[in-house]
Amino acid sequence: MLNEIAFLAPTSWYIILSAILFALGVAGVLIRRNAILIFMSVELMLNAANLAFVAFARTFMDLGGQVFVFFVMTVAAAEVAVGLALIVSIFRTKQSIDIDDLHQMQG
């Protein structure tokens, strides 16, 4: 019932939004110097992917997309946990989380 009277936004708008979010995320990863902000950008990219999943799940009435979002969120959470642990230990070493200061493994 909800499908017939509600005005559904076309799927392409969702995908475009997802793409924009993803691009913003990529830009953030590439531009930002603060490690935490890079993680925030990575979260943004992951969520953009989630959005795309959900949109397609609604379009094709496939619950697989919905389920996969759960996986992505779990992975994102785990990744953040590990990443933040790494950042804390880096801070303890170099007193800075500016990634431009981390260039010792160079040739």
Decide: is 103 part of the binding site for other proteins (CB under 8 A): yes
Among 1, 6, 61, 105, binds other proteins (CB under 8 A): 105
User: By C-beta, is 95 or 106 nearer to other proteins?
Assistant: 106
Q: Are 90 and 97 in contact (CB under 8 A)?
A: yes
DSSP 12-36: HHHHHHHHHHHHHHHHHHHH--BHH
The amino acid sitting at 95 is Q
- Tell me which residues in 40-69 interact with other proteins (CB under 8 A): none
Q: Which residues bind other proteins (CB under 8 A)?
A: 26, 29-30, 33, 99-100, 102-107
